[in-house]
Every structure is written in structure tokens, then in C-alpha cells.
């Protein structure tokens, strides 16, 4: 990412460069059917001065000045020109001053997502190439590859590429386009990934729920190369089969890599319960770590089948692994009624609250499973509990867990706080990027 600090968030609100009445001039000229006037802040060479622009309402530039990359529809005063979805537009404050280059989407509540804060930038192939190369260089600098051959190469907004996710599983890349900007540059992005990573296949999984909110239909399939019959990822020496085409998300949950490894270090001689196990990520680490037994529960039969395959792939003792296809909410109650007890429990549910609007309902669900989890733990047992809900803050999550422990009648300590692995960075100006939060709790002995 560019190191240019010229427009740091602390830059005071600039003097109007375009004149107080810039907004009015745009509106008036539109009404009169005349070409829109150019703002006084002239775009530099390389950016056609006729570039369409989003003009913000007065006082609605604050989050942009703090470099938050989303422009919500409520902040937009008017559109200068006639951009199509995915086109790059200039974002200007009410006085006409340049704020950012952004990808426009008239069909989303998020009218535009920022590509660049620098007026000199030209959003195109060279720009995208640099951004993706920067993202790769960051992973290299963080030595992510030391943990294996899987990593998130591009993590959307936090890598300066709003809406773009790229995961690498060995020599297969999976890309997910979640907004109009990357959608517009789909072919270019695929070419750049091919050049920079030379994968045997680039597979597209543009089927996230978020696409609907962006007015984009779902699309999946091979974009470059040929999908091998079997895709595998090696993580801290463990082999995992990845169903790139039909698995969840892009096929695997790379974000939990380090947390799974931590679980493995504490599993020896314990009876482990892994809820929402997917393809057995935490289970495999626990088995390798010397767990006495591992019960893994998920509602997806396909995921459990891959989990079983993964045990075999790694030569682990299948007799210690029990797989159960069930709704975790019901299964936990049954285990409680059977008076089953465990020494280590993992709760890694799906996103209950995609946004804060779902927080209340989601809180009840989190409290329910965690209360049951606490009840199933033996004294001195460990609970690894997670939320990947963007709508649940770290503070709220901790509060929910505290309530669950209280109602379960257990005394518990937080022994570690967990987040996503470093190939899922969080841009400081984009706190929404910090979706995954986890607590490791030890109940009193």
C-alpha cells in the first residue's frame, strides 16, 4: 500500500478548493442539462478530468477523512456524470475537494468503496497489480508460509482491495468478488493473480450472501487453468482436503489456523468436544496433540465426511474420533441430559450476527451454546469459544460469555484472547475487519 501520508486522517479539514457553491453549481448545471462544471481541484494527469464524481453532503466527509473506506448512500448529495456500477468515481466533499477514488455501486447501501486516497493514482491494471503484490509481500514479510501452503492472499478492505478475497490452497487460488469494484475488474484481477502466483487453477466462489446486498448475482466456476480432482492444504504439518467448489466460504477456514494450533498444544489426555467442527480442523489438531477422545459435531454431512477423510490422510487414530451430524443446539442438550463431561470444548459457530442489527438475537444464541458448554466441562476444563459475527464486538462477546458462566454456575477465567491469523489483517481505519474474536476460558478446578 502507498506510504504517502499527505492526506493522513489527522489532516485538518482543508480549505475549500472548489468554492463554497460547487455543489450548487453541479445541481444547477444538471437541472439546466448543461455539462457539469469541473471542480476547482483539478485531477492530475492520467485521470480524465471528465471522471464521474460522487459529491458528499456537507459535513458527511468525516469518516472518509478518518480513512474509513465506505461511502453510505445517506452521505451522498449527488452524482456528477453517469457512472455505471463498478466504475471508478472521484469522491468529493461538498466544496468539491478530492477525497478518494472509489468503486461506484448504485445498487448497494454502500454507494462506493474506496480504492485509493491519492488523487494521482489511476485505478487500473498497474494499480491493482501493485495492490495485490503488496498484499503478497506483506504475507511474505509475516512468514505466513512457514505454517504451510495455505493462506489468505487478499483480505478485502484491509488490503486496500474492497470486496476482494483471495485464498490460496497449495497451487490453487480461490477468489471471491464481493462488491462491484472487483466485479468490474474480474478479468484483470485473474490475470494479475496468474502472473504473480502461477497457480494451476483460479476458481471463483462469488457466492457469498453479501453479493445480494450489492445487487450482484452469484457466480462460481473455473476462471483460469483446471481444477485438480483433489485439492489439499497443508497446515502446521497436517493435511486437509479442501472442497473448493462446494465447501463453505472458499472451501476452508484459514482464519482459525493459529487458534487450531493452540488448541492442539493443550489437548493431551483430554476428552475433547468440537462443536461446529466443519471438516475437523480443531479435531485433527486435538488428535495429533494426544487427546484421549474427540467428539466432533456439525450439521453438514459433507463436511463431516471430509473430516473423516482428513483423519485418514494424516494417519491419526480414527478410533479416538467420533463424528456426529446434528444441530449443535440440540446435541449439547442431549449431552447434558446424558451427563457427558469433557475437558476441552471448542465452540466455533457460523456468523449469527452479520451486522449489529442482529446482535440481540445472536447474543441469545451465543449465550445458549456457551452456557451449555460450561455445564459440560469438568472442573479445570477449557472452553475455546468464538464469534465470527461482525455485529458482535469483543466487549459484547465477553459480556455474553460472562453471563453464560454466571447462569451455568461456574467460575471461569480468560486465559487468552484470540483473533484471526495474521493473513487476515485489520486495517486500523476499518474496525469492521476484526470479525473473528475468541476467548480461551478455564473453569475453576
**Residues noted as catalytic:** 388
- Nearest CB to ligand SAH, comparing residues 282 and 430: 282
- Nearest CB to ligand SAH, comparing residues 202 and 369: 369
Phi, psi for 384 (deg, rounded to 5):
-100, 110
Size of the site for ligand SAH (CB under 6 A): 20
Phi-psi region of 148 (alpha: psi -120 to 50; beta: other; left: phi over 0): left
Taking the complex as a whole, how short is the minimal distance between the CB of residue 280 and ligand SAH, in angstroms? Answer: 7
Alpha helix locations (H) across 351-393? 359-376
Interface pattern 270-309 for ligand SAH (x via CB under 6 A): ------xxxx-xx---------------xxx--x------
> Which region among 50-58, 87-95, 143-151, 327-335 touches ligand SAH (by CB under 6 A)?
327-335
Taking the complex as a whole, how short is the minimal distance between the CB of residue 257 and ligand SAH, in angstroms? Answer: 9
Taking the complex as a whole, how short is the minimal distance between the CB of residue 147 and ligand SAH, in angstroms? Answer: 14
Residue 148 DSSP one-character state: B
CA-based end-to-end distance of the chain: 49
- Nearest CB to ligand SAH, comparing residues 221 and 350: 350
Q: Are 346 and 382 in contact (CB under 8 A)?
A: no
Structural element, H or E, at residue 30:
helix 22-31
Nearest-angstrom CA–CA distance, 367 and 396: 11
Angle between helices 186-197 and 125-141 (to 10 degrees): 40
Residue nearest to ligand SAH (CB): 281
Taking the complex as a whole, how short is the minimal distance between the CB of residue 67 and ligand SAH, in angstroms? Answer: 31
- Nearest CB to ligand SAH, comparing residues 10 and 301: 301
> Which region among 20-28, 41-49, 321-329, 431-439 touches ligand SAH (by CB under 6 A)?
321-329
Nearest-angstrom CA–CA distance, 279 and 82: 47
**Measured CA distances, 1 to 15, 44, 120, 164 (Å):** 27, 20, 14, 15
Exactly one of 327, 334, 428, 431 binds ligand SAH (CB under 6 A); that residue is 327
Exactly one of 350, 379, 380, 431 binds ligand SAH (CB under 6 A); that residue is 350
Residues 224-253 that bind ligand SAH (CB under 6 A): 248, 253
Nearest-angstrom CA–CA distance, 193 and 427: 22
- Which spans of this chain sit near ligand SAH (rule: CB under 6 A)? 248, 253, 256, 260, 276-279, 281-282, 298-300, 303, 327-329, 348-350
Amino acid at each position: 500500500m502507498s506510504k504517502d501520508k499527505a492526506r493522513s486522517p489527522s489532516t485538518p479539514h482543508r480549505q475549500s478548493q472548489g468554492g463554497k457553491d460547487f455543489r450548487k453549481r453541479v445541481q444547477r448545471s444538471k437541472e439546466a442539462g448543461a455539462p457539469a462544471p469541473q471542480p476547482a481541484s483539478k485531477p492530475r494527469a492520467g485521470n480524465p478530468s471528465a471522471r464521474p464524481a460522487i459529491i458528499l453532503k456537507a459535513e458527511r466527509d468525516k469518516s472518509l477523512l478518518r480513512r474509513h473506506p465506505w461511502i453510505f448512500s445517506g452521505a451522498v448529495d449527488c452524482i456528477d456524470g453517469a457512472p455505471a456500477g463498478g466504475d471508478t468515481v472521484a469522491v468529493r466533499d461538498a466544496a468539491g475537494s478530492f477525497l478518494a477514488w472509489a468503486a461506484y455501486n448504485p445498487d448497494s447501501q454502500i454507494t462506493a468503496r474506496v480504492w485509493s486516497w491519492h488523487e494521482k493514482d489511476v485505478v487500473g491494471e498497474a494499480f491493482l497489480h501493485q495492490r495485490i503484490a503488496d498484499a503478497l509481500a506483506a504475507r511474505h514479510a509475516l512468514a505466513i508460509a512457514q505454517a504451510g501452503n495455505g493462506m489468505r492472499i487478499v483480505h478485502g478492505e484491509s488490503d486496500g482491495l474492497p470486496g476482494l478475497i483471495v485464498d490460496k490452497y497449495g497451487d490453487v487460488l480461490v477468489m471471491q468478488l464481493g462488491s462491484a469494484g472487483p466485479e468490474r475488474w474480474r478479468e484483470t484481477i485473474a490475470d494479475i493473480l496468474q502472473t504473480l502466483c502461477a497457480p494451476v487453477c483460479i476458481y471463483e466462489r462469488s457466492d457469498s450472501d453479501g453479493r445480494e446486498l450489492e445487487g450482484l448475482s452469484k457466480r462460481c466456476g473455473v476462471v483460469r487453468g483446471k481444477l485438480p480432482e483433489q485439492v489439499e492444504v497443508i497446515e502446521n504439518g497436517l493435511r486437509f482436503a479442501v472442497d473448493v467448489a462446494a465447501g463453505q466460504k472458499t472451501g476452508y477456514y484459514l482464519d482459525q489456523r493459529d487458534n487450531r494450533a493452540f488448541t492442539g498444544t493443550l489437548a493431551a489426555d483430554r476428552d475433547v468436544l468440537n462443536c461446529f467442527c466443519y471438516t475437523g480442523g480443531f479435531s485433527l489438531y486435538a488428535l495429533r496433540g494426544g487427546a484421549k477422545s474427540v467428539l466432533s459435531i456439525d450439521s453438514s454431512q459433507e463436511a463431516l465426511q471430509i473430516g473423516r477423510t482428513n483423519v485418514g490422510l494424516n494417519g491419526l487414530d480414527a478410533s479416538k474420533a467420533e463424528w456426529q451430524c446434528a444441530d449443535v443446539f440440540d446435541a449439547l442438550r442431549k449431552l447434558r441430559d446424558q451427563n457427558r463431561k469433557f475437558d476441552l470444548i471448542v465452540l466455533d459457530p457460523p456468523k449469527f450476527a452479520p451486522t449489529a442489527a442482529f446482535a440481540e438475537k445472536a447474543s441469545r444464541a451465543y449465550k445458549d451454546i456457551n452456557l451449555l458448554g460450561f455445564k459440560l466441562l469438568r472442573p479445570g476444563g477449557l472452553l475455546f469459544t468464538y464469534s465470527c459475527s461482525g455485529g458482535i464486538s469483543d466487549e459484547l462477546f465477553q459480556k455474553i460469555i460472562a453471563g453464560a458462566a454466571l447462569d451455568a454456575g461456574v467460575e471461569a477465567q480468560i486465559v487468552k484472547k484470540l483473533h484471526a491469523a495474521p493473513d487476515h489483517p485489520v486495517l486500523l481505519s476499518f474496525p469492521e475487519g476484526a470479525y473473528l474474536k475468541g476467548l480461551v476460558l478455564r473453569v475453576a478446578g
